[in-house]
Amino acid sequence: MSHIQNKPGLKILEIASAWKSILTGSAPIMSIEVTRECPLSCPGCYAYGDMHLGGSVNLRSLSDYRGSELVDGIVHLVQQHRPLHVSLVGGEPLVRHRELSRVLPILSGMNIHTMVVTSAVIPIPLEWMEIPRVRVTVSVDGLPEHHDVRRKPATYDRILKNIAGSQVNIHGTITRPMLERPGYIEEYISFWNSRPEVVRIWISLYTPQVDERAPEILSPAQRELLAAELPPLRARYPKLLANQGISDAIRVPPSEPDRCTFARMSTNYSADLVTRVEPCIFGGKPDCAQCGCAISSGLHWLKDIRLGGLIKMENIARTSIAVGSFVGRLRRGYRPHARWKPPSARLVNIDSANPPSDRVA
Name the segment binding ligand SF4 (CB under 6 A); options: 128-136, 162-170, 182-190, 251-259. 251-259
Closest approach, Cβ 266 to ligand SF4, in A, equals: 9
Contact 283, 277 (CB under 8 A): yes
Residue 16 vs 252, nearer CB to ligand SF4:
252
Contact with ligand SF4 (CB under 6 A): which of 22, 38, 205, 242?
A: 38
Contact 87, 3 (CB under 8 A): yes
Q: Site for ligand SF4 (CB under 6 A): which residue of 119, 209, 315, 320?
A: 119
- Total chain residues near ligand SF4 (CB under 6 A): 27
Which CB atom, from 92 or from 193, has the smaller least distance to ligand SF4? 92
Work out which of 35, 207, 275, 320 binds ligand SF4, going by CB under 6 A: 207
Q: Which is nearer to ligand SF4, 27 or 47 (CB)?
A: 47
Phi, psi angles (nearest 5°) of residue 30:
-140, 145
DSSP letters, 20-56, are HHHHTT--SEEEEE--S--S---TT-STTSTTTT-SS
Contacts for 256 with CB less than 8 Å, ≥ 6 apart? 288
Residue among 28, 83, 172, 254 that touches ligand SF4 (CB under 6 A): 254
Dihedral, 254, 260, 261, 263 alpha carbons, nearest 10: 150
5 near ligand SF4, judged by CB under 6 A: no
Interface residue with ligand SF4 among 257, 283, 284, 298 (CB under 6 A) is: 257
Taking CB under 6 A as the rule, does residue 45 contact ligand SF4? yes
Which of 25, 28, 83, 90 touches ligand SF4 by CB under 6 A? 90
Decide if residue 40 touches ligand SF4 (CB under 6 A). yes
Containing 172, the helix (H) or strand (E) segment is: strand 168-174
By the 8 A CB rule, do 277 and 249 touch? no
**x/- track of binding to ligand SF4 for residues 282-321 (CB under 6 A):** x---x-x--x-x--x-------------------------
**328 lines the binding site for ligand SF4 (CB under 6 A):** no
Spacing of C-alpha 297 from chain mean position? 10
| Contact in structure between 291 and 208 (CB atoms under 8 Å) | no
Contact flag: residue 230 with ligand SF4 (CB under 6 A)? no
Looking only at Cα atoms, what is the longest distance across the chain? 56
Could you give the count of Cα atoms lying within 13 Å of 189 in the half-sphere of its Cβ? 25
- Residue closest to 91 by CA, chosen among 18, 34, 25: 34
Residues within the interface to ligand SF4 (CB under 6 A): 1, 38, 40-42, 45, 47-48, 90-92, 119, 207, 253-254, 257, 260, 262-263, 279-280, 282, 286, 288, 291, 293, 296
